[in-house]
Amino acid sequence: MAWVVKREGTRGTTYKGVYRDPDGIQRSVGTFPTRRAAERAANREEIKVRDGQWHDASLGQITFKTYVDTVWMPSRHIEASTKAGYQSYLNKQFFPIFGSKQMAKILPSDIQAWVTGAAADGLSGSSIRKYHMMLHSVFRRAVRDRIIVFNPCEETELPKVIAKRARTLTPDEYRRLIDAIPPAHRLIIQTAIETGLRWGELIALRPRHLDFGAGTLTVSETIVEVPLRAAPNGQRMIVKPYPKDNEARTMGLRPAFLDALTAHIRDHQLGRDDLLFATRDKTPISRNTFRTRVWFPAIKTAGIDFNVRIHDLRHAHASWLLAGGADLKSVMDRMGHTQIQTTQKYLHALPDADRRNLDAFTRIADPPS
Which residues neighbour 178 within 8 Å (Cβ) at sequence distance 6 or greater? 186, 189, 190, 193
Q: How far apart are CA 165 and CA 104, in angstroms?
A: 42
Q: How far apart are CA 41 and CA 77, in angstroms?
A: 42
DSSP SS3 for 367 = coil
- pLDDT digit string (tens) for 297-309? 999 999 998 899 9
| Average pLDDT by stretches of 10, the chain with 369 residues | 88 91 89 93 90 83 96 88 87 95 96 96 93 96 92 95 81 96 96 95 96 94 81 76 80 94 96 96 94 96 93 92 86 88 75 68 70
pTM, entire model:
0.72
Q: What is the largest CA-CA distance in the chain?
A: 110
Q: How far apart are CA 310 and CA 174, in angstroms?
A: 12
- pLDDT digit string (tens) for 8-40? 988 899 999 999 988 888 999 999 999 999 999
Q: How far apart are CA 220 and CA 201, in angstroms?
A: 8
- Tell me if 39 sits within 8 A of 17, measured CB to CB: yes
- Tell me if 134 sits within 8 A of 87, measured CB to CB: no
